[in-house]
A = this chain, B = another copy of it.
């Protein structure tokens, strides 16, 4: 009995159309990263579990895909351990048969890479990385167990010019995609200042986690969550005007300045100063996309310490397309302190959905060759293969239909593949150094000299 083929749940095959479109996304992002001076690195899919564990919280540890040690059988263990499941630490046990896990994001491997190779690198180190990551999340619409991240980071400099560069990167990437986005910016120091003036300087994490849901849950949601976590109503009264504040950037900055001056929050004032510098520079340098200071933007990740970013599509309803921020001690856990950096991550899957939904994939993103030559017999094929050499040398994709069968069938293939043009070199054409071509889109058919044919492709 033959097996019915399938793939693990939460994973995907990409057919030629999808893979071509994905390549367009990766190539575009890669081109922009490169033009901004970012250099590529690659890290292995498998990392030591000790590198990964404890870096993503308890939830993250649970969602790591663990790899069975090769050659090991798990059986001998059964003899070694206490057999009452209640007495066994299952994490410890799985560590005995699993020492490796699949990478969960590109940030931790990047931090590991920087520390491991610090003596070979020139700092500030600007790297990009476009690779898949794996998470054992429950699969659902739009959430996969294998997906690509496209990250750019600059580490080893606390200059705010790096924050500006992230804004320019985002601007450039989405300009090229032809997608209108809103880039929201906030600053973790401002959030720390708010926690301070609320009277809860040590509750920043709880406060940001609740704030992060302001978009979804509204003021009441944030209020309810924080009250439940023991934040007093009085503290909340300092937070709420901020979440609701409307106005242009300068008003927001004035509002924050007043708040932190009154509340004597140094960290808050430092955050405002950073935001002011960044927005001033954005104004001077100029960007094509919309940029907004969003005081409710929090981003859940604990390692951010300065500017934070999030990108939303303006014309398509979907989660954020891109996010990032400033961190001060990503590499500390691997023994290298005082390495400040900024990073940004583009989500290829959501960008794909937006480009598709808004019909923004360029016509040049094709999975089919530009020309299919029909197979008219051996001599003719040799002749056609000669033309094809010229076309390919100019980057034009083309192929010879492999079988000498009825033209009707060869036409069917060309149509089914979505080829734009078929070319026929029969006995007559060969004698006269001509080609007959048919544009399958316009229906236009013509016989002309070989050079006329090449001219159509700018050759």
Contact = CB atoms under 8 A, between A and B. Distances in A.
B5 A112 contact: yes
Nearest to A43: B13
Number of copies of chain A assembled together: 2
28 contacts: A2-B333, A2-B335, A3-B335, A7-B43, A7-B112, A8-B48, A8-B100, A11-B46, A13-B44, A13-B113, A14-B41, A14-B42, A14-B43, A19-B39, A19-B41, A20-B40, A45-B102, A74-B93, A75-B88, A75-B90, A78-B85, A79-B83, A124-B403, A157-B402, A161-B375, A161-B403, A162-B402, A285-B386
Nearest to A32: B392
A159 interface: yes
A328 to B, nearest CB: 15
Question: Chain A: interface residue count, which band?
Answer: 35 or more
Interface string A318-345: 0000000000000011111000000000
A36 interface: yes
B172 A392 contact: yes
A35 B395 contact: yes
Residue from the set A8, A145, A378 with the largest chain B CB neighbour count within 10 Å: A8
Given A16-B41, A161-B402, A399-B126, A63 B68 contact: no
A35 B234 CA distance: 68
Contact of A46 (B8, B62, B79): B8
Interface string A1-44: 01111111001111110111011000000010011110111111
B126 A47 contact: no
A115 to B, nearest CB: 5
A135 to B, nearest CB: 9
A420 to B, nearest CB: 12
A35 B392 contact: yes
A367 B93 contact: no
B66 A67 contact: yes
Contact of A94 (B15, B74, B99): B74
Among A74, A400, A417: residue with most chain B CB under 10 A: A74
B48 A6 contact: yes
A12 B127 CA distance: 17
Interface in A357-398: 367-369, 372, 375, 378, 381-382, 385-386, 392, 395-398
Contacts of A202: none
A5 B334 contact: yes
A285 B382 contact: yes
Nearest to A50: B3
A396 B35 CA distance: 6
